[in-house]
Amino acid sequence: MRRILQVLVLLSCLGDGHPVPGCSLQGWESESFTQPGDLLIGGVFVVHSGFVNPELTFQERPRLLSCEGFHVRYYRDVLGLMFAIDEINKSPDLLPNITLGFSLFDSCMSELRAIWGALSMVSGTRSPVPRYNCHSPSLMVGIVGELVSALSLPIARILSVLHFPQISHGATLSALSNKKVFPSFLRTVPSNMFQNIALTQLISRFGWMWLGMLVVDNDVGEQGGQVIRAGIEKSGSCVAFLEKIHLSYSMRQIQRVVDVIEASSVKVIVLHSPEVHVKALLDALYDREVTGKVFISSASFGITPGLFSKKAWSVLNGTIGLIPKTGKMPGFEEFLYRLHPFDSSKYPFMGLFWEKAFSCQWPTEGKTQGSPIQVTAQELCTGNETLGEMMSSLFEINDLSYTYHAYLAVYAYAHSMHALLECQTVRGLLQNRTCGTVNSIQPWQILQYLKKTPFRAKTGEVFTFNADGDIPASYDIMNIQILDDHFNLVNVGRFDPEARQEDKITINQSAILWGDRFSHVPLSACSNSCQPGYRRSARRGEPICCFDCVPCSTGEMANQSDSSECYKCPDNQWPNEMRDSCVPKVIEFLSYQEPLGIILVTMVTIFSCLTFCILFIFIKHRETPVIKATNRELSYVLLVSLMFCFLCCLLFIGRPSTFSCLLRQICFSIVFSISISSVLAKTIMVILAFKATNPNSPLRKWLGPKIPRNVVGLCSVMQTGICSAWLLVSPPFPRMNTESVSHKMIFECDEGHNLFFYMAMGFMGLLAMVSFVVAFLARNLPGNFNEAKLITFSMLVFSSVWVSFIPAYLSTRGKYTVAVQIFAILASSAGLLSCIFIPKCYILLARPERNNREKFTSNRTSRHIGQ
Ligand SMILES: *[C@@H]1O[C@H](CO)[C@@H](O)[C@H](O)[C@H]1NC(C)=O
Ligand SMILES: *[C@@H]1O[C@H](CO)[C@@H](O)[C@H](O)[C@H]1NC(C)=O
Ligand SMILES: *[C@@H]1O[C@H](CO)[C@@H](O)[C@H](O)[C@H]1NC(C)=O
Ligand SMILES: *[C@@H]1O[C@H](CO)[C@@H](O)[C@H](O)[C@H]1NC(C)=O
């Protein structure tokens, strides 16, 4: 700021504090229009929408840029300012006895002209000298303007040096809120900061993921574009392209932008640029038939149908735009209606406006002001033309934005001047009350009052500038609908940053028309969204919005669409077939209902019945030699224990319970130990009987029932000991096993400490080994009915069953483990049963003739073996 001040001081060529006549720099004659008054309000406005750069000849002083493209919509802002001034001048309450006047300068969208205009306003001379105010006796209160940020910015820099008030009616650049850099800049439109939030929310509301952006090619567009882009990307969407556009672009540059838009798959394009810059681009889009894009325009894009051609209208059909909230201006329409070049000659550009409105030309040059470029009109204007019907479309009065904000700016000045001149105390101004007279007021005093004085327009709504010099933000969301060649601007919603998060944006979606290509909200995405059951997989080197959908892997699911990850289900659940939700795992156990269970139960029944029958036969024939010869008592014990072996299989089938789990392995171990130990006892008895053939043998005294009883007793007591320890230390319990098989839960008995299970099994294995070895040694002992051979064979069967059981047991899961164990029990028991008892039954039932004493007494020992 100091730098600018120094330059200004140097330029203004101060001698003894006053400009030396003739020493001022050669500038341009200012083309400002002034309506005199006690207080003056300066206006730097866009009236013409474009300019022509004069050719530099270097032979004469460069001329000021000339303007072209007078545009009624922009001119309307000037009329708004004048309307407010008229209103205030007529008002008995506001600034009584003081007339407001104004000074107007047309910037024609040119930065150079805007700065020049501002300087000339400040100094009040035709050839401006900064810091000198030559408006006397009128006081230049402050400046209203500019419409666009890019033009307001340089003015704000210069005026801030002089602490000269400036109120913009259209500049939304958020950087201008920085009061350290721009202390004298105020505005009646909200800063972009809220607009960016609004745009981002709008985009996520409609679920657009893949967007293009068009921004104006200057600092303002650059900055704003970056902020909007950051907002879009933060909300998870992606910007496919960000193209720049400017009024001054050549056709080739414009075609390049069209190429980019045409090549892209985006359906939605964010437009952050004053409307004049995109005019040519829209026409080019129409000519190249690049349609089917929906534009979202930021507040810097003024929706001014009159500026655009019919072609551009068609391209803009369906556009959603934000415009700063606009209030009512009662009486403005009548004011416009009454405009006439003869009666309203105190207003600038009246003649030009008339020519434009009626496509005619005034016969004399003198009446027109401004544009040096004359439209070649067929007719001459007469002044008898009437605005009539065309008034509302000519002035586009259905959207008064910016005009209303210019109108408000005048009221802001009026209210603060009123307060200042009336010596009103305004809260926050502590210094001696500055009750100025018109001649002694300084710009910084006005600025202070401006910042603190509440102001209101005719409608009564009260505004105050906040600390940043902005007024509270609020936007209307508009929709462009081109129906039957009419440009309709329909209000479809609101954005209110003060509201709660979910109410900030309200949209009536049913009121929106999306243009002729879309019947409802267009989809704009790089990739189609992923169904539940799939996850996104980013494509290498492309934005995050471009992805492939890959199905979730086994055991994982994604229950929402567009999930970036698949998730594991809880332990007791499992993904369904679609992998889009978790379903409870199937509980598995060996039940009585299923075929396998039924088969096993049937086998158990058959075998136990068979055992029972054999027992019955044995008891029936208990006095016959074949039974007596083979140790009757042991046979009964063995048969009964085998029967229990079969029956204990039933404990393994069915839903596990604490009871069945406790009983299962314990019963099995004990009952099995009894069987094997009976077999062992049998073998021992065979050997003893043989060794004791000699009547004098000392072994004969062992031939009684003592040994078998002790063997069986001892073995079962040992096994019972192991089992008791098992029950005490870590008893088996029922458990839901969710880990071992992924899609099922196995309802099983946890055996508690494995050590005990292996001890019990090992003990039985040891018994079986001993029986086998003993029986093997005795197999060739002579004798008509040597049981040792049968026992050897049965132990072989028994061992092979249990040896093959081990790998089968370890390799199966769930109910099959149980089934394998049952099968092993059945097979080994059946092996014992058949090997040891079937031959005897055969003799008993089929060959009773062999069942006589002679056959068995050839071996004399047999009588001692039998009981
Ligand atoms: C305005 O002027 C009239 C007549 O000159 C005078 O009577 C009135 O008091 C003035 N009002 C103010 C507020 O100065
Ligand atoms: C939304 O727009 C439709 C169509 O314009 C209109 O009928 C309806 O009343 C509007 N709803 C609201 C809540 O404004
Ligand atoms: C604009 O879009 C509407 C539908 O949204 C359609 O009816 C109308 O014909 C379109 N206008 C033009 C000029 O394409
Ligand atoms: C999706 O699953 C998660 C847990 O995996 C759960 O918290 C969430 O509620 C589920 N959502 C839906 C829509 O089912």
What gap in Å lies between CA 394 and CA 375, rounded to an integer?
18
The CA–CA distances, whole Å, from 31 to 70, 160, 239, 509 equal: 15, 24, 44, 48
* pLDDT for 501: 79
Pocket test for ligand 4, best of 535, 559, 562 (most atoms within 8 A of CB): 559
Cβ of 516 closer than 6 Å to ligand 3, yes or no, is yes
State the ligand closest to the CA atom of 98. 1
User: Roughly what angle, to the nearest 10 degrees, separates helices 632-648 and 815-845?
Assistant: 150
- Please check whether residue 121 is in contact with residue 105, taking contact to mean a CB–CB distance below 8 angstroms: yes
What gap in Å lies between CA 275 and CA 601, rounded to an integer?
88
488 C-alpha vs ligand 2 centroid, how far in Å?
16
457 C-alpha vs ligand 1 centroid, how far in Å?
23
Pocket test for ligand 1, best of 97, 98, 421 (most atoms within 8 A of CB): 97
**Mean pLDDT highest for which of 436-440, 545-549, 624-628?**
545-549
DSSP 585: P
What's the pTM? 0.65
* pLDDT for 377: 45
For the chain, report the end-to-end CA distance as a whole number of angstroms.
Answer: 128
Which one-letter amino acid corresponds to residue 302?
Answer: G
496 C-alpha vs ligand 3 centroid, how far in Å?
29
Atom number in ligand 2 closest to CA 490: 5
Q: 761 — phi, psi (to 5°)?
A: -65, -40
What gap in Å lies between CA 3 and CA 294, rounded to an integer?
45
What gap in Å lies between CA 486 and CA 73, rounded to an integer?
17
What's the pLDDT tens digit per position in 107-164? 888 888 888 888 888 777 665 655 556 655 678 889 998 888 888 999 999 888 888 9
Whose Cα sits closest to atom 3 in ligand 4? 559
Cβ of 593 closer than 6 Å to ligand 1, yes or no, is no
* pLDDT for 8: 57
Confidence of residue 10 (pLDDT cuts 50, 70, 90): very low
What gap in Å lies between CA 245 and CA 215, rounded to an integer?
6
State the ligand closest to the CA atom of 556. 4
What gap in Å lies between CA 122 and CA 143, rounded to an integer?
8
Whose Cα sits closest to atom 5 in ligand 3? 515
What's the pLDDT tens digit per position in 613-655? 999 998 888 888 878 777 788 889 999 999 999 999 998 898 8
User: Six-digit token pair at 498?
Assistant: 């003060």
Q: 405 — phi, psi (to 5°)?
A: -70, -30
492 C-alpha vs ligand 2 centroid, how far in Å?
8
What's the pLDDT tens digit per position in 221-260? 888 899 899 999 998 889 999 999 998 899 999 999 999 9
Q: What is the DSSP string of 504-536?
A: SEEE-GGG----TT-SS-----SSPPPPTTEEE
Atom number in ligand 4 closest to CA 557: 5
Whose Cα sits closest to atom 6 in ligand 1? 97
State the ligand closest to the CA atom of 552. 4
Pocket test for ligand 3, best of 311, 314, 315, 513 (most atoms within 8 A of CB): 513
508 C-alpha vs ligand 2 centroid, how far in Å?
6
Query: Does residue 415 or residue 631 have the better pLDDT?
Result: 415
Using the predicted structure, report yes or no on whether residue 861 has a pLDDT greater than 80. no
* pLDDT for 29: 62
577 C-alpha vs ligand 4 centroid, how far in Å?
17
Whose Cα sits closest to atom 9 in ligand 1? 97
Using the predicted structure, report yes or no on whether residue 659 has a pLDDT greater than 50. yes
Q: Is beta strand 505-507 parallel, antiparallel or unpaired with respect to 486-495?
A: antiparallel
Cβ of 624 closer than 6 Å to ligand 3, yes or no, is no
511 C-alpha vs ligand 2 centroid, how far in Å?
6
326 C-alpha vs ligand 2 centroid, how far in Å?
20
Whose Cα sits closest to atom 13 in ligand 2? 508
* pLDDT for 272: 92
Atom number in ligand 1 closest to CA 96: 13
Using the predicted structure, report yes or no on whether residue 693 has a pLDDT greater than 60. yes
Length of the chain: 867
Residues near ligand 4 (Cβ within 6 A): 559-560, 567
Closest CA to 649 of 673, 665, 662: 665
296 C-alpha vs ligand 2 centroid, how far in Å?
21
580 C-alpha vs ligand 4 centroid, how far in Å?
10
What gap in Å lies between CA 350 and CA 341, rounded to an integer?
5
Cβ of 96 closer than 6 Å to ligand 1, yes or no, is yes
* 3-class secondary structure, 22: coil
849 C-alpha vs ligand 2 centroid, how far in Å?
110
